[in-house]
Structure 1
Amino acid sequence: MTTQSPLVRPLFIGSEIYRGSSYGAWHPLRVPRVSTVMDLSRALGWLPSQQYITSPRAKPVAISAWHTPAYIAALQAAEAAQGVSEEVRRRHHIGTHSNPVFAEVFRRPATSAGGALLAGELLANGGRVYAPGCGTHHAMPDRANGFCYFNDPVLSILSLKRSGVKRIAYIDIDAHHPDGVERAFEADPDVLMISTHEENRWPRTGALGDEGVGNLFNLPLPKHSHDDDMAYVLSELILPALQTFRPDAIVLQCGADAVEEDPQSTLAMSNNAHFEVIRALLPMCPRFLLLGGGGYNPWSVGRLWTGAWGVLNGIDPPRDLDDAPRRVLQALTWSGHSRAKNRPKYWSSTLRDDPRNGPVKDVVRERVGKLKKRLLVHV
């Protein structure tokens, strides 16, 4: 363990590379996300220079802690040539519809990887770090997968381990199952992984019965799961698992695609569900790393991830916004998507959604009950 002192205040790891880069005009990740969080946080007065760190770009040797040298080199070559051969496309899944070649196809994911690796070092002796550009939980060692080129959640956990942190809990509340992270740690008894994700949603992994060898808990959620469903999962599964596992660090992947406004899922949560998960997890552990993830509506993801930074700093996300943060949200565009037309006023006027409540679904209770029985045996 290093001898540095615990972090006094939460740190935000960001980069301007997210402002200017896009996966392409037709891709779901054409929308601004991290840059909106940076701009909105500054407009709210929440991001002083002392708490902001520019993410380094990870070097290939550091990325090779989990990814193969051949794959890393293929991404570098794809960026230089702005194209790939059919052989590279087949082997590494670069240049596909989901994982296109774009101008920063190596530099952008390498920057996210650098932020993840740095976060593990910064948290060696405790504290809170936010890296909204991270959360690419689908990438595999030798191929891109699901809009993800490097798996920065995996790299962050490996960085924490190198910093001397032994027991790590990875919680993922993205609408999509973290198949890459599961592959990395399914046999590691020192990593607890709990994923809530929409059932029958791509990549269609993470079934309730998938156990692995380590501490692995997958909870597929039915369509239209709302705030009270997530609150039940939090109180009845996630918190008891953490209390039993007693992690030295928590990594929370806070994908914003589980909210009702997102086009890539049919879950129906408000951003309050995510805020409550963060609040509940913060006291559970001396080291807390918050990552971004999915999120494809620029207004809902910007508002959620900015509110998450507020919660990390002990600030209650406000209902009413002043002129400066409103202008940030009003300036957003979402080209080519029908939801951007006649958008509701609250997308630009408030940070906090109205709650989306309802009876806890019987299937959620049933599945949580099955996982709690396993919890008594495995953790």
Structure 2
Amino acid sequence: MTPPARFIGSEIYRGSSYGDWHPLRVPRVSTVMDLSRALGWLPPEAYIRSPRAKPVALHAFHTPDYVDALLGAETSQQVTPEIRARHHLGTPANPVFSEMYRRPATGVGGALLAGELLRHGGRLHLPGGGTHHGLPDRANGFCYLNDPVFAIQSLRRHGARRVAYVDIDAHHCDGVEAGFSHDPDTLLVSTHEENRWPRTGAVEEEGAGQVFNLPIPSGSGDDAMALARDRVILPAVAAFRPDAIVLQYGADALLEDPQSRLAMSGHAHLGVLRGLLPLAPRFLLLGGGGYNPWGVGRLWTASWGVLVRARLPERLEPPAQAVLRGLKWHGQRRVTTPPEAWLTTLIDAARPGEIADALRARVAALEARLVAWV
């Protein structure tokens, strides 16, 4: 019998912010928790409070010097010029803030617990995870620690020999690729916006033959992701026959997100999620990017609904609407009043979009690699 889906969360995300000027000033995980409860999808027995990873556990990927520097920066709330230069702490992207160790260590603690909870199969949502840019010796791209790496390691320790990692964030998963690109028992598949930071993840990057990167042109909509899903993502994962799937589910590919120029609706993400779910007995859904509080909160909540096999409502009832109406987006001039659909629905109307010839050519190149690989 398949275990019921479970949700790993924490209250640390409710009051924690990178700063009033930073893209990660917006509430995200707390919105998913509140909205899921308002919909009746998150009963107490499904919710698990995330533990916080201890410093020594982080040495499985991050260097001891970096972990010490991160701890020291949180304690003192400052960094030396040497620490900033070496570890990229105290930069505009990776600022000093009050929970700069505890918050990412909570994400890693959830990732470590996820591998244990999925030992016998099941579905698990960790919206506080997905910090896929973190590198062994430095913070990178808003990511102080790399919880997807720890999730893959934990799944391995608890019986999953082959792990497929799929990443549909608008930004390439450079930190995860750095950790596993030469591991034949880990499949890495990433879709990301072309020419978007960190400007890695070219089609030609192959690693040990288990890396499939697909840059998607700016302005692409749902049809572009459907093409990637049907001809690259699902065929690659099915051919790999994983024991576990980790899906990084960044919401920054949505049209309304300020940190990319993709033009998708949540239907693009849900299509990938639904397609992947039958392909492995263990399934871990992570968060990731997403900087519009209504966009990310609604999408990640809808995805939790898919995991628990709930019917996604066409229009939200007043308690759920109240959660969304209570959100604020401080410092964002482009959206002073959210559209009514952001307050009353979980998923916007489909946004098909044109499929660029360049994308079709890249998909064909990856299909040729898949044939040779299989």
Which TM-score band applies after superposition, normalised by the shorter structure?
over 0.9
Q: Is 2:355 the partner of 1:363?
A: no
CA displacement 1:270-326 (0-9 Å, x = unmatched): 011111111111111100000000000000000000001001111232220000010
Q: Which residue in 2 is equivalent to 1:114?
A: 109
Amino acid at match of 1:143: R
User: Matched residues in 2 for 1:131 and 1:281: separation?
Assistant: 17
- Count of paired positions: 374
User: Matched residues in 2 for 1:316 and 1:209: separation?
Assistant: 40
User: Matched residues in 2 for 1:236 and 1:214: separation?
Assistant: 17
Give the secondary-structure state (helix, strand or coil) at the position aligned to 1:340: coil
Conserved in 2, the CA contact under 8 Å of 1:135 and 1:291? Answer: yes
Amino acid at match of 2:146: N
Q: Which residue in 2 is equivalent to 1:69?
A: 64
User: Matched residues in 2 for 1:316 and 1:45: separation?
Assistant: 11
CA displacement 1:8-27 (0-9 Å, x = unmatched): 21110000000011000000
Give the secondary-structure state (helix, strand or coil) at the position aligned to 1:339: coil
Q: Which residue in 2 is equivalent to 1:8?
A: 3
Q: Which residue in 1 is equivalent to 2:196?
A: 201
- Superposed displacement of residue 377, structure 1: 2.1
Q: Which residue in 2 is equivalent to 1:103?
A: 98
- Superposed displacement of residue 340, structure 1: 2.5
Conserved in 2, the CA contact under 8 Å of 1:239 and 1:281? Answer: yes
Q: Which residue in 2 is equivalent to 1:3?
A: none
Q: Spell out the pairing of 1:5-44 with structure 2 (5 A cutoff).
A: 8-44=3-39
Structure 1 residue runs of 5 or longer lacking an equivalent are 1-5
User: Matched residues in 2 for 1:151 and 1:173: separation?
Assistant: 16
CA displacement 1:64-91 (0-9 Å, x = unmatched): 1101111111111101100111111111
Q: Spell out the pairing of 1:51-70 with structure 2 (5 A cutoff).
A: 51-70=46-65
Give the secondary-structure state (helix, strand or coil) at the position aligned to 1:288: strand
User: Matched residues in 2 for 1:283 and 1:7: separation?
Assistant: 12
Conserved in 2, the CA contact under 8 Å of 1:119 and 1:129? Answer: yes
Aligned match for 2:143, one of 148, 155, 164: 148
Conserved in 2, the CA contact under 8 Å of 1:318 and 1:352? Answer: no
Conserved in 1, the CA contact under 8 Å of 2:250 and 2:290? Answer: yes
CA displacement 1:222-278 (0-9 Å, x = unmatched): 011111111111111111111211111000000000000000000000011111111
Aligned match for 1:308, one of 298, 303, 309: 303
- Superposed displacement of residue 162, structure 1: 1.0
Give the secondary-structure state (helix, strand or coil) at the position aligned to 2:342: helix
Give the secondary-structure state (helix, strand or coil) at the position aligned to 1:205: coil
Amino acid at match of 2:355: V
User: Matched residues in 2 for 1:90 and 1:319: separation?
Assistant: 50
Aligned match for 1:261, one of 249, 256, 260: 256
- Superposed displacement of residue 358, structure 1: 3.2
Amino acid at match of 2:198: P
Structure 2 residue runs of 5 or longer lacking an equivalent are none
Give the secondary-structure state (helix, strand or coil) at the position aligned to 1:94: coil
Q: Which residue in 2 is equivalent to 1:233?
A: 228
Conserved in 2, the CA contact under 8 Å of 1:185 and 1:214? Answer: no
Q: Is 2:291 the partner of 1:296?
A: yes
CA displacement 1:43-98 (0-9 Å, x = unmatched): 00000001000000001111111011111111111011001111111111000000
CA displacement 1:162-217 (0-9 Å, x = unmatched): 11211110000000000000000000000010000000000000011111124001
Give the secondary-structure state (helix, strand or coil) at the position aligned to 1:194: strand
Q: Which residue in 2 is equivalent to 1:161?
A: 156
Moved more, 211-220 or 359-368: 359-368
User: Matched residues in 1 for 2:278 and 2:129: separation?
Assistant: 22
User: Matched residues in 1 for 2:154 and 2:338: separation?
Assistant: 41
User: Matched residues in 1 for 2:256 and 2:141: separation?
Assistant: 20
- Superposed displacement of residue 342, structure 1: 2.9
Instruction: Let me know the Cα RMSD of the aligned residues.
Output: 1.0
Aligned match for 2:271, one of 271, 276, 281: 276
Q: Spell out the pairing of 1:182-197 with structure 2 (5 A cutoff).
A: 182-197=177-192
- Superposed displacement of residue 378, structure 1: 2.7
User: Matched residues in 1 for 2:314 and 2:209: separation?
Assistant: 42
Give the secondary-structure state (helix, strand or coil) at the position aligned to 1:64: helix
- Superposed displacement of residue 7, structure 1: 5.5
Conserved in 2, the CA contact under 8 Å of 1:12 and 1:131? Answer: yes
Give the secondary-structure state (helix, strand or coil) at the position aligned to 2:334: helix
- Percent identity, aligned pairs only, is 63
Conserved in 1, the CA contact under 8 Å of 2:220 and 2:354? Answer: no
Q: Is 2:344 the partner of 1:319?
A: no
Q: Which residue in 2 is equivalent to 1:137?
A: 132
